[in-house]
Amino acid sequence: MAAPGPGLKYRAALSISYGAGLRATEVCNLKIGDIDSDRMLIHVEQGKGGKDRKVMLSPGLLDLLRDYWCEARPEGWLFPGKPKINQISPRQLNRAFTSAKNMAGVEKVATLHTLRHSFATHLLEAGTDVRVIQVLLGHAKLSTTARYIHVATKTIRDTISPYDMLAKLQDQTVKRSLQ
């Protein structure tokens, strides 16, 4: 089997950042044993603030990680650097993100941390409670999570005004009184 190219390794690492909302250092510090495929969780050791936490492991992300593992067979660190006794660095991960962004033709200003912001925003748009997002991101304060969440234009546009809800209620009341 040929040695794995950096493509799948960095695709898996960047996918964890978006798919689980991890910081660059948290992705780099992952070990093989931190992936719990039985419980579908990723164990984050010593995240920011020195706190451990568990985050979700989606089936699609697990499939990607299995493909990567079958190709690379990492030992110890999930994403080893050079030499393999060290993990990849956040700087290497940032470079991979910038390269992928440029290759995709994305002109919008974005950093690796944008993946974490997008994770939070997309969960909120899908109806996930903001307190659950707070736990997944590892924030001690809800106010920190609130800074991460960008409300999309579609969400704003699709939100029903209390005025319209009141008008609808009044219409229903009038219809009942006419019956």
pLDDT in tens, 84-98: 888 999 999 999 999
pLDDT of residue 2: 38
- Residue 176 is a catalytic residue: no
- Residue 23 is a catalytic residue: yes
pLDDT of residue 140: 86
Bigger pLDDT: 171 vs 56: 56
Q: Of 9, 53, 101, 139, which is the active-site residue?
A: 139
Whether residue 1 is predicted with pLDDT greater than 50 in this model: the reply is no
Bigger pLDDT: 176 vs 92: 92
pLDDT of residue 4: 37
Q: Of 43, 54, 113, 122, which is the active-site residue?
A: 113
Would you say 65 and 41 are in contact if contact means Cβ atoms under 8 Å apart? Answer: no
Q: Of 9, 10, 23, 101, which is the active-site residue?
A: 23
How do residues 3-22 score in pLDDT, each as one tens digit?
Answer: 333 589 999 999 999 999 99
Task: Give me the numbers of helices (H) and strands (E) for the chain, helices first please.
Answer: 9, 3
pTM score of the predicted model: 0.78
Alpha helices in the chain (DSSP H): 6-20, 24-28, 59-72, 90-103, 112-125, 130-137, 142-148, 153-158, 162-178
Domains of the chain: 6-158 (1.10.443.10)
pLDDT of residue 174: 64
Q: Of 48, 73, 91, 147, which is the active-site residue?
A: 48
Share of the chain above pLDDT 70, in %: 86
pLDDT of residue 94: 93
Kindly state the tokens that stand for 109.
């200003």
How do residues 44-76 score in pLDDT, each as one tens digit?
Answer: 987 676 778 999 999 999 999 999 999 999 999
- Residue 117 is a catalytic residue: no
Backbone angles phi, psi at 56, to 5 degrees: -70, 150
pLDDT of residue 153: 61
Q: Of 9, 53, 101, 116, which is the active-site residue?
A: 116
Q: Of 53, 68, 101, 148, which is the active-site residue?
A: 148
Backbone angles phi, psi at 46, to 5 degrees: 50, 55
Mean pLDDT of the chain: 86
pLDDT of residue 156: 67
d(CA 138, CA 134): 6
